[in-house]
Structures are given as structure tokens and as C-alpha cells.
Amino acid sequence: MSNLYRSALQARISKLPQLPSDASEEEDVDEEDEAKSSIGALPGRMGPPAACASTAKAKSPNPAFAPISASSYFASANQVAVPSRQLDFRVYYTPPASKSSKSATEDEHGESGTVLVCHHGAGFSGLSFACFAKEVQSLSRGALGVLALDARRHGKTVPIDNASDEDLSVGVLAVDLVSLLQTVFPDSKKAPAVLLVGHSMGGSVVVQACPEIMAAGYSVLGVAVLDVVEGTALEALPFMNSILNARPDGFDSVEEAIEWHVKSHSIRNPTSARVSVPSIIVPSSEETGKKYVWRTPLRSTGAYWENWFTGLSSRFLATRTARLLILAGTDRLDKELMIGQMQGKFQLEVVGGGVGHVVHEDDPMRIAEIIVEFWRRNERVVLPGVKGKVIKRVGEV
């Protein structure tokens, strides 16, 4: 492998699994206020937040990187117990406005509307979509709801009764997602239509889960995958450990963690970083010399990296719904995606403009514009191979 090719891969790798950002109000994070919020009629109970980390050299917190509460980005936050998965999921939710949209979806489902179901990447949390969610609400005038979850071993999702939550294989994560949706919206016929959005690892999860969600009777209007291509991801994996070696083991304060993300360009939107980063670190419970450590150390997920991305392209192209791939830059598509694009099997958007791997945090307005337009264009879907038959509910001709 040439040095030039290696450098190019390392540049792309730096955009692979990292952490979240997106927000716009300058309030101090108030975990008690957030914990008091609930998701209306959603089932569930509040559960304990994950633990945090500690540091040795105390550095004065920089107020310019003070945390911002997520309370103004979602209507509510709650813990939703899913006994079948032995998990208590953290869910952030803003429902679609009951009468704000006159879409095909609403004609079909009364006032149910459409909800974007957002799955974050490795090491991130549902708050990675906070700023994006606010932009979606504004652009759709409330017609689109947003549900963002914390996956197992991430954010504030915790095991029930000390069950193990170690397995992060894509199949397990996909079943988690399906089970959560069935808990939140138990009646698939009365449930809102969903548009699945997944970032990096989460992109693979939503693609894997999509057929099962449809088989359970839910209407899926589309799948949007954010900044992950199977070929590029797999080529980058051999270099991941060296990339992770450059990351700090912990931080002296939450402000220091936010500042590191912004200054290292892991998250290029300071507001988003101030909302999302606090959820991905925890107080240290060991003598690590740091007050805060990573909630989900990426190195600990290494056994699953290949599993997340292998077969992603073929599964994405086989998904029987509208497909959208959003990339941060001009990463080359692998052979399957290149052929699929030439055949018009999916919509491709390259954002550019200085965004990094966490595209929805770096430029939440632009990503919201793309996805809201994708939703509007695909409210009425034509299934591949079903000529002239327009459907409102995927799977029903």
C-alpha cells in the first residue's frame, strides 16, 4: 500500500466512529430537569443515568464550552423499559404535530403523521441528533416527529436487573430497535409512519432492522444512511487502533471533553458538542487520574467493527423502500453502490463544506433540509418492480 493511499485512508478514518454534537441555547445542563421530562403516553420509567469518569490534573473549566441542556431540542425524554431485551432505553422524542401536515401519510393514518427514528453511531448517543431534530421540526413545520434513542452500552440506556448488555453485533442492535418501536408504538396500524435514519454504525442497524419493522406491519417511508460506505469502512479498520491512540483516555471536566471534541474537529459545531458530548462521558469510578471517562470506549467495541459494515451495501440496495445515502465528502462508492447509483436505486447527497464524519451535528440545517425533502418526495412510494402502482403505505399495493 502506498504512503499516499495510506494517508488517504487515515484521513477518511479520522471521520469514522467518533462522537456527537448539535444545539443552540446557552443554558447549563440540568440533568434533574431533563430527567423530570416524560414522553407523554410512552410506556416506561425513569432509570438511573450511566456513571461518569475522573482525572488527575485539574484544569479550570472553560465557560465557552459549558454544557447546554437538551430540554429545548426534544419535547421529552424518558426511560422506556423493554423487558424482552432486558434493557431500559433512553428515548428522546418530539411527536409530529397532530394537524400540521396534509400529507399522504396523514391521509392514511389520520393524525399519526411521520416520525424520523434516529440511531446514532458507535460511541455517540441519541443527543447526537438534538440540533438536527430542532431543524427538522422547523423545516417541516412540526409535520415530522423525531425519536432518537441511546443504544445498548451508550448514553443513558441501562440493563434491567444487571443483565449483560455487552453484545453490540448489528443483529442484536437491530432487534433492540425493532423491540423498542413495538413497545413505544404497540399497534402498528395506528402507529405513525417511520423514516429510519442511521449514522455510521447506526446506518447499518437501521438497514438491518428495516425489513423486520416492515414485516411487523409498520409503514416505512424510507431509510437514510449518514456517512458510511461499506468498502471505505472496511478498508479503514486496520488503522483504527492507531487513530484511537490519539484520543485522550479521559478528561478533568465536562467542559474539557467538549473543548477537545471541538478543537480536534471531531464535532465541528460547538453548540451541538455542548449538547451531545455530556451524554458520552461518565464520572470515573476507578483511579484513572481523570474525573471523566468515555461511556463507551471505542476500543472496547473492536470485536464488532467488521460485523457492523460487512454486507451493508447489498442490504441497503435490497431494502424495499426509498433509500438515501448522505456522505460528508467525496468518498468513493464501493462497486455495489456505484452500480446501484448508476441504476438509480438510491439518492446520493455529498454535503462537503467542511463537515466531518458527524454530518448531522456539523451542519444540522443542511442535513435536515436533505431529509425533509427526501420525506416529502417519498410520502407516496412506488415499489420497485410494481409498475404504475402508487402506494401510500409500503408493502400495501
Active site residue 227: yes
Q: At 270, is the secondary structure helix, strand, or coil?
A: helix
Q: Choose the catalytic residue: 200, 204, 253, 279.
A: 200
- The C-alpha atoms of residue 30 and residue 127 are separated, in whole angstroms, by 14
Active site residue 112: no
- The C-alpha atoms of residue 177 and residue 180 are separated, in whole angstroms, by 5
Q: Enter the C-alpha cell of residue 283.
A: 464520572
- The C-alpha atoms of residue 368 and residue 143 are separated, in whole angstroms, by 13
Q: Choose the catalytic residue: 154, 199, 261, 357.
A: 357
DSSP symbol at 273: H
Active site residue 125: no
Length, in residues, of the chain: 397
CB 295 within 8 A of CB 154: yes
59 Cβ neighbours under 8 A, 6+ residues apart: 252, 253, 256
Phi and psi torsions of 313, nearest 5°: -60, -45
> Closest Cα partner for 85 from 170, 168, 179?
179
Residue type, 230: E
- The C-alpha atoms of residue 116 and residue 195 are separated, in whole angstroms, by 5
Q: Choose the catalytic residue: 150, 165, 176, 227.
A: 227
- The C-alpha atoms of residue 233 and residue 244 are separated, in whole angstroms, by 15
Looking at 37-148, list the stretches that DSSP marks H as alpha helix, in order from N- to C-terminal side.
104-109, 130-139
What are the residue numbers of the active site? 200, 227, 357
